Chains A and B, each alone.
Chain A
Amino acid sequence: MRHETLAGQPRIPTEVSAMTAASLNVKPAYLKIANVWKAFGDFHALKDISLDIREGEFVCFLGPSGCGKTTLLRAVAGLDLQTRGSIHQGGKDVSALPPSQRDYGIVFQSYALFPNLTIAKNIAFGLENTKRPRAEIDSRVTELLKLVGLADQGNKYPAQLSGGQQQRIALARAIAISPGLLLLDEPLSALDAKVRTHLRHEIKELQRKLGVTTIMVTHDQEEALSMADRIVVMNHGVIEQIGTPTEIYRHPATLFVADFIGEANKFEAKAANGAAVGFGAASFSCTQHGFDDGAPVIAAIRPEDVIPHAINSLANGAATNTIDVTISEMEFLGSFWRTRLHGHALGNETLIADFSINAARRLSLTEGVQLTVELPAERLLIYPRGA
């Protein structure tokens, strides 16, 4: 898998890779993107992108602004042809085909609803020239309107609907022709937070019901984590990692992914004897990392993976991967406490840790309190450092 070669280290726990490999074999790739490049003059917006998407899968392209998500989507749609590389859809080479000869429905951020046509006519637009009888078109439109929950609004114009409703009409129009592939370019970004959460769920439901292979572009990690079967994390025109939301979150293949998705403490460290790192004044064991002894690395850990213990409560033998720290700040964030920890072993660095309300009460945590924290070996993420 790509992320293994990317990191240069076979770091993913074996059972995860095995599972992914097994599920890969279930269905052949429906969309096969191979070695795609996109050049705008001297600037390369996509660099050697390869990616397989299985039939019925919901895939999100996730990444910061300008990373090339839209560019990749438009290449798949045939709207902005890639400079090099091939794209196969359903076994057919569509690399150089114009949009009209590909098989997809698309929803843009602007929705692109035809303002002078009623909603019903918007949805019917793609159904019309196919020698279908009028009655059949009408019943299909009614069905689609019902599907997106706007059954009685067919005679309104787009301008008379709310943003969320327009978005659903755009979706209905795109799926009206039963395309093999559904492309969504930041479909929710123009909506306010509440409508967004609601529609997220709805789109996912709809996709599951129709079983249509779907690619959604987003820069909102929550959206990607909650909707996607698999996430493609991109940065600067390359794929950083491909994986299920849990894979991506639990085992970020690169420091960028660890940083971009969720939060992570990062410490400059040195690798030691195959499965340990040293930073500050302490040494920690971790999973097999394969770096040479003394190689500069970054050790990272997510705030919620830090486990609190009462000071001196651990038996001497059990005290691996623990350090003693003092709470210098505590902030209540509703469902948990966010703390900033300092300690001799950390040097000048700060460790940010999230503790459950329960744990905080059990250990009577307040600012100034000393405690022991454990950085579990299997939760320590090790990445190469330097040039």
Chain B
Amino acid sequence: MAMTIDTALPVGRALRLRLDRDELIKRGLMVVIALYLVVALAAPLAIMLSKSFSTYSFDLARFEFQVSDKDGNWSKPTTAEALNKALNAVPPAKLGTNSDGRLQATSFFPDFSFRSPVKYKIRGTTTDAAYLVGLKLQSGTKWQELTSNDFRRVMLRPSRALGLENYVAYFSTPTLFRSIENSVFIAFISTIVTVGLAFGFAYALNRSCMRFKDAFKLVAMVPILVPSLLPGIALIYLFGNQGLLKDLLMGVPIYGPLGIVVGSVFFAFPHAMLIISTALAISDQRHYEAAASLRASSWRTFWTVTIPGARYGLISAAFVVFTLVITDFGLPKVIGGQYNVLAVDIYKQVIGQQNFEMGAVVSVILLVPAIAAFIVDRMVTKKQVALLSARSVPYQPNPNRGFDTLCFAWCSLVAIFILGIMVTSQFAALVKLWPYDLSLSLKHFAFDRMDGGGWGSYYNSIRLAALTAVIGTVIIFVGAYMVEKTDGFRSGRTAFQFLAMLPMAVPGMVLGLAYIFFFNDPANPLHAIYGTMTILVVCTITHFYTVGHLTALTALKQIDQEFEPVAASLKQPFYKLFARVTVPVCLPAILDISIYMFVNAMTTVSAVVFLYSKDTTLASVAVLNMDDAGDVAPAAAMAMMIFYTNAAARLIHMFLSKALIKRTQAWRMR
């Protein structure tokens, strides 16, 4: 009987599985992809974080000089600090600098002349005191003798200290920290408007019997295919200084918060709509029947059944929109005017003022809301998945004349808004000279005559998108497979999962800046990829990693867990199973991942704007630069080129998916 032998577990170590070749290969691959994510994500972010706490100043006590007279008799060694005290050549306020700062050594020798026969000696008092002689970086405590002519070219380099000074400086500069308020304000308003519009739209699609549902769905997805710069350009055409409809605004300028909010609603709308629509689609018919049998009014049913059922979708959509808007760079850059927001501040600090440390500070600040939103979204998504797994009966709407008309009107308004922006942009690209000569021409498509890289940028973008789609999909899917289908190695898998989720929380601007810090460091062995197409591909794959990873995981989880054990018992290597079964079964998801990577690589601006070089200019960046240079019509034309390309890619994707489903119908039938 149980009690007679129910003794305790014998002491000793738990048995451990001997690893076979398959398991070693799987773990090896997982480690390789994890390393990729460390190099392409974790390490750059860590460096950026440390940069935000780094301050640079000239520490004069670290340098010592000696001067000879004409006869070669050397004076006593004196520190630069002592010299400065006597001369007050460099006031203390000027000693603070940035990582790039240089201070001419001759500043401490007022009677210096490069023609004099006097010689100079310099050394550091500590081993890490660095100075330049010409272009050569020197350091150390050995004396170095230089002629006057060489001494002229000696530059002291600052030393680095860790501290909160950058943050103090940030928060004591109103023009800087006001951006936080601006960004949060913009994101907040945009979120409310977008989620409201999207909820109505999704509700109409799921709960009414209105006509043209498919057409509405199609239109709602259009903004995904264009860079966020496009609504900015279109809004300027409509409501800008020479805008057709400028008077409608009654004096409120489109440049600033209004423009940003309207444009943000445009590009964030499809994301919110998809999330809410999914939440509504999984709600259970039975709840409605129960409510009806209790004779609840439709209004009460709405508040007691519909809203609670969709609440996770609503929360999730709100956080996604908030993050998208607060981290977006292209739109406020185009239409923000004098209204500063965080993402643009990073750009201004880095590109405009070359103040990388301050750029890092703003990045860290921008990370806070993005990470918070990300965490809440993950928590909510988990709950919703739990809801999903309960078998429910999908809701079947009944026709209702008044309600259906209302829904149709709502969706039409949204569709007119989206199409209006698109048509304006298309029009802007085609008319000769807005608003004076409205005849059509293709002259704005002659990109080679503008700044921004010309047609080369466009081809570069296609190359980037294709490489990202192919390489990214392979990396993402293989990585997801290894995490999902490996036994044991719990800690390794958890670490991998964390790394794979991280990109979602990192705004593009932050990633781009982190890449500058990490890859533009000559000491980094990977420095060679800086300024090449490779770094753009790496950056883009990393930037969009998470969504692809989640898509792959979802598909893999739907595959029978027992395939791997069966293959192992049949003595077949896992890669045979992977190639012959896993990949074919997951092909629809794999196609989804690659089209997602392609479209986003075409439209992204934020990360790559820091990383392109003159050989790797991109279409989306060209839109930005042409707009900046005042070539707004060509900018619109280039944005439309991106749209055409993405639309074509999506059509091909749709065609391939359909063909695939048809070909595999025999075995998918259940």
Binding site for B on A (CB under 8 A): 5-8, 35, 37, 39, 44, 47-48, 77-79, 81-85, 95-102, 104-106, 108, 110, 112, 114-117, 125-126, 128-129, 157-160, 173-174, 176-177, 179, 235-236, 238, 240, 254-256, 384
Contacts and interface: CB of A to CB of B under 8 A. Distances in A.
13 contacts: A35-B10, A79-B487, A81-B15, A83-B9, A83-B14, A84-B14, A98-B20, A99-B569, A112-B560, A116-B581, A177-B570, A238-B6, A240-B1
Given A106-B565, A238-B5, A129 B14 contact: no
A97 B23 CA distance: 12
Nearest to B17: A81
B554 to A, nearest CB: 17
A82 B15 contact: yes
Nearest to A125: B570
Given A84-B9, A129-B576, A235-B2, A157 B19 contact: no
A77 B569 contact: yes
A177 to B, nearest CB: 6
Given A100-B569, A112-B560, 5 more contacts: A8-B4, A81-B15, A97-B17, A125-B567, A177-B570
B667 A115 contact: yes
Interface centre among A8, A106, A173 (most CB of B within 10 A): A106
B304 interface: no
A108 B562 contact: yes
B585 A116 contact: yes
Nearest to A37: B9
Interface centre among B16, B562, B572 (most CB of A within 10 A): B562
Contacts of B12: 84
Interface string B477-504: 0000000000100000000000000000
A160 B580 contact: no
B22 interface: yes
Contacts of A78: 17
A97 B560 CA distance: 23
A79 B565 CA distance: 7
Given A39-B9, A79-B565, A159-B669, A126 B1 contact: no
Contacts of A37: 9-10
A238 B562 contact: no
Contacts of A384: 1
Question: 8 closest A-B pairs (Cβ-Cβ)?
Answer: A126-B570, A112-B562, A99-B568, A157-B667, A98-B20, A100-B568, A108-B562, A114-B581
Contacts of B5: 6, 47-48, 238
Contact of B23 (A39, A98, A117): A98
B94 interface: no
A106 B16 CA distance: 22
B590 to A, nearest CB: 14
B391 interface: no
B117 interface: no
A115 B665 CA distance: 11
A177 B570 CA distance: 7
B4 A115 contact: no
Interface in B97-149: none
B14 A112 contact: no
Interface string B1-36: 110111101101011111110110000000000000
B614 interface: no
A227 B15 CA distance: 33
A99 B560 CA distance: 17
B248 to A, nearest CB: 57
Given A125-B570, A236-B2, A238-B6, A98 B18 contact: yes
B584 interface: yes
Given A84-B10, A116-B581, A96 B570 contact: no
B566 A108 contact: yes
Contacts of A117: 580-581, 667
Given A47-B6, A99-B568, A159 B668 contact: yes
Given A125-B572, A159-B667, A173-B570, A77 B10 contact: no
Contacts of B570: 105, 125-126, 173, 176-177
A186 to B, nearest CB: 12
A144 to B, nearest CB: 13
A100 B18 CA distance: 11
Nearest to B666: A157
A126 B15 contact: no
Contacts of B576: 128-129
Contacts of A82: 15
A281 B15 CA distance: 56
B292 to A, nearest CB: 36
A11 B64 CA distance: 100
Interface centre among B1, B10, B560 (most CB of A within 10 A): B1
Contacts of A176: 570
Interface centre among B17, B573, B664, B670 (most CB of A within 10 A): B17
B383 interface: no
Contacts of B669: 157, 159-160
Contacts of B15: 81-85, 95-96
A173 B10 CA distance: 39
Contact of B566 (A112, A157, A255): A112
Given A47-B5, A99-B565, A108-B566, A116 B17 contact: no
Contacts of B76: none
A97 B18 contact: yes
B210 to A, nearest CB: 36
A48 B6 CA distance: 8
Contacts of B2: 235-236, 238, 240, 256
Nearest to A7: B1
A110 B562 contact: yes
A159 B585 CA distance: 13
A84 B8 CA distance: 12
Interface string B558-590: 001011011111111100100011001100000
Interface string B219-237: 0000000000000000000
A101 B4 contact: no
B18 A96 contact: yes
Nearest to A75: B15
A128 B560 CA distance: 22
A325 B19 CA distance: 67
Nearest to A104: B569
Contacts of B1: 6-8, 240, 254-256, 384
B571 A110 contact: no
B576 to A, nearest CB: 7
B9 A116 contact: no
Nearest to A97: B18
A50 to B, nearest CB: 10
Contacts of A47: 5-7
A84 B10 CA distance: 8
B584 A116 contact: yes
Contacts of B569: 77, 99-100, 102, 104-106, 174, 179
A106 B576 CA distance: 18
Nearest to B487: A79
A160 B664 CA distance: 13
A223 B529 CA distance: 66
Nearest to B669: A159
Contacts of A177: 570-571
B6 A116 contact: no
A115 B10 contact: no
A126 B573 CA distance: 10
Contacts of A112: 560, 562-563, 565-566
Contacts of A174: 569
A300 B576 CA distance: 57
Contacts of B560: 110, 112
Contacts of B568: 98-100
A240 B2 CA distance: 7
A84 B9 CA distance: 8
A158 B16 contact: no
A48 B7 contact: yes
A377 B12 CA distance: 48
Nearest to A84: B10
